[in-house]
Amino acid sequence: MKLVLYISVFIGLLSCNNSNSITNYTQELPDSTMINEIIATVIEIDSLKHEYGISKNIQRLRVYDIDEMSGDSIITIPPPPIITIWSKELHSKFNPHNINVKRVNDSIFFSLQSDTSRKFEITEKLYSRFNQNSGFSYHFFMPIFSFDKQYVFIQYTIQGGGICTHSRWIFLRRSNMHWVIFDKFWV
């Protein structure tokens, strides 16, 4: 009887090892096409002025991941540099119900995206729509996607003659096969 039980358990374990029955939690990083799709969406939805220039290079953006300290701590956490975003900010937008599995997957995916050395450029089709001789120009930062790629954060700046710079944060979600803005503000 014990032998039958051991054989049954062994067969059960082998069948669980079938690659079709194991959930795969890996996710491909966004490629150039997906990144340029997000930038094109922002250009269209946010009505960017085509008489401005646009930087061909997409700049890196880091996700700043430091846990908050309690209110009675004497150590203060400095704000992140301008080309970063707090991971807690992304979690609050991408995962408002704080589902733990999603939070863990998103955290790992944020890190993979922000620590990459891959370089991306605006496509020639998008680049050619803008006036490169303008005194004003748009500069896009690498979009940061949620693990399931249903949410994305992107930042761009508008630089104009001299030291004048404005930065815009935009949060998008996929809805009916299209990207829609669900929050945006100037920083």
**Neighbour tally for 146: CB within 10 Å:** 22
Terminal alpha carbon distance of the chain: 70
Q: Are 118 and 35 spatial neighbours (Cβ–Cβ below 8 Å)?
A: no
Signed CA dihedral, 59, 171, 177, 126: sign only: negative
Coil, strand or helix: which one is 11? helix
What is the pairing mode between strands 84-86 and 164-175? unpaired
**Rounded Cα gap, residues 162 and 154, in angstroms:** 24
Domain ranges (residues) in the chain: 30-186
| pLDDT tens, position by position, 134-182 | 989 999 999 999 999 999 999 999 988 777 788 899 999 999 999 999 9
**Rounded Cα gap, residues 110 and 84, in angstroms:** 12
Residue 70 in tokens:
């309690």
Q: Which of 62, 48, 70 is nearest to 168 (CA)?
A: 48
**Rounded Cα gap, residues 107 and 47, in angstroms:** 31
pLDDT tens series, the chain, 187 aa? 554 444 444 444 444 444 333 344 567 899 999 999 999 999 999 889 999 999 999 998 888 776 555 556 566 666 555 567 888 889 899 998 888 899 899 988 998 887 667 889 999 999 999 999 998 999 999 999 999 999 999 999 998 877 778 889 999 999 999 999 999 988 7
Q: Are 142 and 59 spatial neighbours (Cβ–Cβ below 8 Å)?
A: yes
Separation in Å, CA 132 to CA 15, 54, 55, 122: 60, 7, 8, 13
Q: What is the pTM of this model?
A: 0.77
